[in-house]
Amino acid sequence: MPDHLPNHLQGDTVFDHSPDPDRPGWLKWGLREKDRYNSTIGPMWAKLRQDGITVVRTEPGHLQGNIGNNVHGGAMLTQIDIAFFVAARLHGALQYGPGVTLDLNTQFLAAGRIGEPLDAEVEILRETGRLLFLRGLLVQGTDHIGAFSGTIRKTPKPRA
């Protein structure tokens, strides 16, 4: 990903997605309103790889942990759901407004570790006029923590 913001993201008043000077190739990613649910998983970064995969990174801490001192499953589900929409935005698929998650299927493969970067790697399988079909992996280092798939319903183009 270039170290500049793609044209279709410039001037966005809802999301803060500026290049992170401390992480070359990554965009900071979050809502401008900091008191929304998304903020519970902490800071996020995103990048679009050359192969078309969108990577959304968090660094889970104590707040995202469960009583077993692993990453809470709810925090991972939140990251996956947000990653769907980050992928849609980076690919220019949400042009007319927000979308909604129709389904999210997840298989937890291993415990997520607190204090280590956690990446949601998202692939858009197909886009239709109203739907996006996505799948991906949750990865920490070389470990697959989860696998997921889901569908987003896009806001349609306004009628003339």
CA 38 to chain centre: 10
Q: Counting every residue, how long is the chain?
A: 160
What fold, for 7-154?
Thiol Ester Dehydrase; Chain A (3.10.129)
Amino acid 116: pLDDT: 98
Look up residue 119 and give its amino acid: D
Contact 56, 82 (CB under 8 A): yes
Contact 113, 74 (CB under 8 A): no
Q: Where are the domains of the chain?
A: 7-154
Provide the residue-wise pLDDT of the chain in tens; the chain has 160 residues.
Answer: 444 556 555 556 667 778 889 999 999 988 777 777 778 888 999 999 999 999 999 999 999 999 999 999 999 999 999 999 999 999 999 887 789 999 999 999 999 999 999 999 999 999 999 999 999 999 999 999 999 999 999 988 888 7
- Going from the C-alpha of 60 to that of each of 28, 66, 114, 125, the distances in angstroms are 16, 11, 5, 28
Report the predicted TM-score, pTM, of the whole model to 2 decimal places: 0.89
User: Rounded to whole angstroms, how far apart are CA atoms 142 and 39?
Assistant: 26
* Maximum alpha-carbon separation in the chain: 54
Tokens 């903020």 label which residue?
A: 39
Contact 58, 64 (CB under 8 A): yes
Amino acid 8: pLDDT: 54
